[in-house]
Amino acid sequence: MVGILSYGTYVPKFRIKTADTASSWKKDEREIIGGLKVYEKSVPGVDEDAVTVAYEAAALCLACGKVAPGKIEAMFVGSESHPYAVNPTSTIVGEFLGIGRNYLASDLQFACKAGTTGLILLAALASSNRIGMGMTIGADTAQGKPHDMLEYTSACAGAAFAIGRGSKVGVKLLSSTSYSSDTPDFWRRDGIRYPSHAGRFTGEPAYFAHVVAAALRLLAQTRSKPSDYDFCVFHMPNGKFPREAAHRLGFSEDQLKSSLIVESIGNPYSASSLLGLAAVLDVARPGSKIFMVSYGSGAGSDGFVWETTEHIKKIQQWRRKQHAQLTDQIQDKTYVSYIEYLKKTHNI
């Protein structure tokens, strides 16, 4: 049995209201919020980057599962905002965690699905008995050019998952699939500070084409239908896209609502769908089946079918006791001025 042994999440406490950003650029806040379904977003502190965000999530993951750092035999970090072009985030996080020297480390980059690619890689390593346990992390800091639409949604957060095999698996991986193409709806060349995007092109030929295709392939592969699942999770670039994807595929609002954290924290890129999964796992009962599809510009989607076991209760109990559930982290917030944020982080 291969699956999730533990997980940890991290959302910085700082928030910027969408209305504040809109008013700063003399935009109609009702139009912006109505179009994106995002009310506020999380942003990093001046001393936070993808490394510190990844570490915070990973440290909680180890503590939650009572995992000795030396048990981690592979470390993957997916991000669009690795602080170094050359020098891996994964080894820095591994050093901070104290996992030793005998582990496979790699940084992953596939836009917003880099973290879920790590899930597939670790599941393969664990199921082939190459490793007993590994960790994948999705972590990003907000990236958006001032006065660009990305400024309303690009956020900061991290999620870490320990993947392995054995009786302590809290969430079984039942099936996975991937769907990929060369569809550059979002990109950033090396040395360029802010990403570019193709506007409305990111919808039908990019997000929906890949998410729906991966989902249909996963349903066919598992010979299942949407009504067979208790929860569904989709990548959340905004509040509208995952709702539309769920609707097209036949999932209900009730199946989706537990994962919709985008309205409260925005889109933390590589952490988005992983945080949606964590939000579901915080409330799921043993035996719950979860349908999940990520998305990354470039473009591609990873799909997963998960099923919780009795051990999920112990994971949930620890997270509740430590006030480490995702809802706790989302509610622990301090609002900052958008203008002050620009001054401190964009040097303007």
Residues with catalytic function: 80, 112, 235
Say if residues 296 and 214 touch (Cβ distance below 8 Å): no
CA R_g for the chain: 19
Query: Tokens at residue 209, please?
Result: 């084409």
3-state helix, strand, coil in the chain (%, to 5): 40, 25, 35
Select from 286, 283, 287 the least CA-distant residue to 261: 283
Beta strands in 261-308 (DSSP E): 289-293, 298-308
Cβ(147)–Cβ(21) below 8 Å: no
Q: Which residues contact 289 (CB under 8 A, 6 or more apart)?
A: 174, 228, 229, 230, 231, 305, 306, 307
What residues contact residue 320 under an 8 Å CB cut-off, 6+ apart? none
Give Cβ neighbours of residue 242 (< 8 Å, ≥ 6 apart): 234, 235, 236, 256, 259, 260, 262
User: What secondary structure letter does DSSP report for 332?
Assistant: S
Rounded to an integer, what distance in angstroms lies between the CA atom of residue 294 and that of residue 309? 23
Which among 42, 18, 36, 41 is positioned nearest to 243, based on CA atoms?
Answer: 36
Using CA atoms, how far apart are residues 254 and 288, in angstroms rounded to an integer? Answer: 14
Give the separation between CA 256 and CA 261, rounded to whole angstroms. 10
What is the distance of C-alpha 191 from the center of its chain?
25
- The answer to whether the beta carbons of residues 153 and 1 sit under 8 Å apart is no
